Amino acid sequence: MKTFYNCLVDNIAGEPFSYEVSSRSEDLPHRVNMTERDGMGVCTCNQFKFRCEKNWQILQELVPYAEDADGCPYNPKSATECRHIAACRMMIYEWFMQPLLHSCRHGITEEIRRAVQQIIVGHDPGEC
């Protein structure tokens, strides 16, 4: 589990690119599936359902969620993704894209192979 945008993000085992993401306002985590909307993701939170999805239907392009240094959203009325999707996108970038881009320069390593496995399968096979 890792924290992005003050949200804990955890892989859902057996569901590639699906995550449980903690909520600031609710006790139960939200579910995010990053394979939906052509890789832009969907979330079970109300912000996504009632605002972000409607913005997406109108704009049909990514308007990223963003926060200032105090954790306040810059663009809550125009974003097409919620905090939970943004947290997952940041996790995918850190755990998957950075190592993958690094490997383009330096060759595939065991660490890269494990990072890819973590994202695709939802766990590190070395942890079993």
Which one is predicted more confidently, 78 or 41?
41
Region 44-48 average pLDDT = 95
Token pair for residue 55?
A: 């913005």
pLDDT digits (tens, 9 = 90+) for 10-45: 999 999 899 999 998 889 999 999 999 988 999 999
Token pair for residue 126?
A: 């070395």
Which one is predicted more confidently, 68 or 124?
68
What's this model's pTM, rounded to 2 decimal places? 0.76
Cβ atoms of 58 and 34 closer than 8 Å: no
pLDDT digits (tens, 9 = 90+) for 85-121: 999 999 888 887 777 777 777 766 777 677 777 766 6
Q: How far apart are CA 20 and CA 11, in angstroms?
A: 6
**In the predicted structure, residue 126 carries a pLDDT above the cut 60:** no
Which one is predicted more confidently, 111 or 67?
67
Region 58-68 average pLDDT = 87
Q: Beta partners for 123?
A: none
Which pairs from 94-103 meet CB under 8 Å and 24+ separation?
94/2, 95/2, 95/119
